[in-house]
Structure 1
Amino acid sequence: MRWTDIYDIAIELEDARPDQDILKVRFTDLWQWVQDLPGFEDDPKKSSEKILEAIQMAWLDERD
């Protein structure tokens, strides 16, 4: 997975952290959790606040 695989990341995060309050996640934590996902292989420096926000919103959609 790469940073641009927003929906795949959201699915994996929901599987890994189903009880997490998504709207209270700090972006520093989210950044690390994404990198810790199995199969994630992108450069950590390619992340941005915009990407993290998109991941957070996709994760929220995945939960609904």
Structure 2
Amino acid sequence: MTHFEPPIHWKDYEDIAMKLYERFGDDFGEGKIYRIRFTDLHKWIMEIPNFAGKAEESNEGHLEMIQSTWVYEWRDNQK
């Protein structure tokens, strides 16, 4: 039985952050996450398997929210 995952869009910050954490794990800590270039972050988000957002729908606000949500996801997994 296949587990259906709904498509992820730009405003699904928690879903995106969880996918990035699953991909990079503890290789990216808080300081490193905040130093990621937005061009790299954008590319990695576009590579998420069920990501349905369009590249041109992205903006700096989305990327900042994703970045900070990823930090919270990372912190939650350090406990």
TM-score bracket, normalised by the shorter chain, equals: over 0.9
Higher-Rg member (1/2): 2
Q: Once the two structures are aligned, what percentage of the paired residues are identical?
A: 38
Asked if 1:62 corresponds to 2:73, the answer is: yes
Unaligned 5+ segments in structure 2 are: 1-7
Name segments (4+ residues, structure 1) moved above 4 Å: none
User: CA shift at 1:4, angstroms?
Assistant: 0.8
| Residues paired across the two proteins, number | 64
Q: Aligned equivalents of 1:42 and 1:32: distance in 2?
A: 12
Task: Identify the residue that residue 20 of structure 2 maps to in structure 1.
Answer: 13
Alpha-carbon offset, residue 29 of structure 1? 0.2
How large is the RMSD of aligned CA atoms in angstroms?
0.7
Q: How does the TM-score come out when normalised to structure 1?
A: 0.95
Three-state SS of the structure 2 residue aligned to 1:28 is helix
Indicate the SS of the match to 1:40.
Answer: coil
The farther-off stretch of 42-51 and 15-24 is 15-24
TM-score normalised according to structure 2 size: 0.78
Uncovered stretches (5+) of structure 1, i.e. residues with no partner: none
